[in-house]
């Protein structure tokens, strides 16, 4: 899945959560999706610290989530 497709998927999954808020649903959904990306990054750092390995750079995953974050900001 491309970063753009993942960004759209996270947005679509976040929209129902934003439905009950009194704000623009898309803006709230994007913020929720960005929180998810933040949590993924935090978890990655914890795993790397625990195992003393740079797993994401080794597999190119860090760049993927950075691109997902960028695509979310463009939606």
Q: What is the CA radius of gyration of the chain?
A: 14
Domain count, the chain: 1
The pLDDT tens digits for 24-61 are: 778 888 888 898 898 888 888 888 788 877 766 656 67
Note the pLDDT of residue 71. 92
Contacts of 54 (CB under 8 A, 6+ apart): 48
- pLDDT higher at 54 or 10: 10
- pLDDT higher at 45 or 23: 45
pTM of the model: 0.66
Q: What range defines the domain where residue 66 resides?
A: 3-74
């Amino acid at each position: 899945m491309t970063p753009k497709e993942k960004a759209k998927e996270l947005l679509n999954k976040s929209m129902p959560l934003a439905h009950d808020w009194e704000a623009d649903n898309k803006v709230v959904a994007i913020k929720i999706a960005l929180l998810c990306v933040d949590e993924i990054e935090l978890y990655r750092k914890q795993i790397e610290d625990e195992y003393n390995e740079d797993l994401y750079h080794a597999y190119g995953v860090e760049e993927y989530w950075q691109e997902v974050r960028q695509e979310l900001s463009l939606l």
